[in-house]
Structure 1
Amino acid sequence: MSSECSGKSSWPELVGAEGEVAKATIEQENPAVTAIIVLEGTPVILNFDCTRVWVWVDTNGTVTKVPKIG
């Protein structure tokens, strides 16, 4: 589905980064999206959205999954 969305759609290089740094990087590299930091295990809405990137972090604030549009 991400092929329908504009700009960069995935940030594998941010796994292991600090969540706030990842958020800023994502929003700078693709101004069409909003990055949302989410603690692992937190329920989120499951609908696909070209303007949203979930940034999954652990309790230390470290990115644990590849952030991608969705």
Structure 2
Amino acid sequence: MHSKRCRSKISWPELVGARGEDAVATIEKERLNTVAYIVPDGVVVTPDYSCTKVWVWVNANGIVKSVPKVG
């Protein structure tokens, strides 16, 4: 998926089920000048939107539980 606002890939459905650390590495490699953050399930994050930030939600075992998206 692409966004006119962010001008490149903005979600990674193929990473659901991957290890969080691997997902972060993939995202940061595919989308330069972007930082991916591992976020444990249940943690609250800031609601501000940024094309240079991706939340990677993981379960208690560190596995990506939902589609990582720019935000």
TM-score class, shorter = over 0.9
- Which 4+ runs in 1 deviate beyond 3 A? none
5+ unaligned residues in a row in structure 1: which ranges? none
5+ unaligned residues in a row in structure 2: which ranges? none
Count of residues in Structure 1 that have an aligned counterpart in Structure 2: 69
Q: How does 1:46-57 map onto structure 2 within 5 Å?
A: 46-57=47-58
Contact 1:15–1:66 at 8 Å: present in 2 too?
A: yes
Identity of aligned residues (%): 55
User: TM-score if structure 1 supplies the norm length?
Assistant: 0.93
Q: Letter of the 1:47 partner, please give it.
A: D
The Cα of 1:8 is off from its aligned counterpart by 1.4
Root-mean-square deviation (CA, aligned residues, Å) is 0.9
Q: How does 1:13-28 map onto structure 2 within 5 Å?
A: 13-28=14-29
Q: Secondary structure at the match of 2:37?
A: strand
Richer in helix (by share): 1
